[in-house]
């Protein structure tokens, strides 16, 4: 499936960034470096994508932002935390639901090995 290849490449790029920089930096540093790597691969990537909320007949823009949106399909949320919490999971699932995006990656750069800080999500809400 096309999503598998995209997420595989995103994870590979994130591992490259993590290997080069290591843990301990601000989220924004990893975000900019991952953006650079993905664009170098030829992907369409948007940074800090506004995600409004629609409630009945009103549209609310409360400053929710997707860290990276790859190929207008994959939501990438970056964290630099000790461990993921339920709030992190809820955040990415909400972004995926609101934007009707099929795939999401939650990446925690505050780990010794990045592979231990990766969660992949599939939007099953129709």
**Angle (nearest 5°) at CA 117 between 63 and 76:** 35
Q: How many residues does the chain have?
A: 126
Q: What is the Cα–Cα distance from 119 to 61, expressed in whole angstroms? A: 27
User: Domain residue spans in the chain?
Assistant: 2-122
CA 80 to chain CA centroid, Å, is 12
- Contact, 79 vs 12, CB < 8 A? no
Each residue's pLDDT tens digit, 67-108: 999 999 999 999 999 999 999 999 999 999 989 999 999 999
Report pLDDT for 60.
Answer: 83
Report pLDDT for 53.
Answer: 85
Q: pTM for the full model?
A: 0.92
**In CATH terms, is domain 2-122 a member of 3.40.1350?**
yes
- Contact, 34 vs 17, CB < 8 A? yes
Report pLDDT for 30.
Answer: 98
Report pLDDT for 1.
Answer: 66
Q: Which residues contact 55 (CB under 8 A, 6 or more apart)?
A: none
């Amino acid at each position: 499936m096309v999503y598998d290849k995209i997420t595989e490449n995103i994870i590979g790029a994130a591992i490259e960034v993590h290997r080069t920089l290591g843990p301990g930096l601000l989220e924004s540093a990893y975000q900019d470096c991952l953006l650079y790597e993905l664009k170098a691969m030829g992907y369409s990537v948007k940074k800090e994508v506004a995600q409004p909320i629609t409630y009945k007949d009103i549209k609310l823009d409360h400053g929710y932002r997707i860290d990276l949106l790859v190929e207008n399909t994959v939501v990438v949320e970056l964290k630099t935390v000790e461990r993921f919490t339920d709030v992190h999971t809820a955040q990415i699932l909400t972004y995926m639901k609101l934007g009707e995006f099929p795939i999401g990656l939650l990446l925690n750069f505050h780990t010794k090995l990045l592979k231990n800080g990766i969660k992949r999500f599939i939007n099953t809400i129709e």
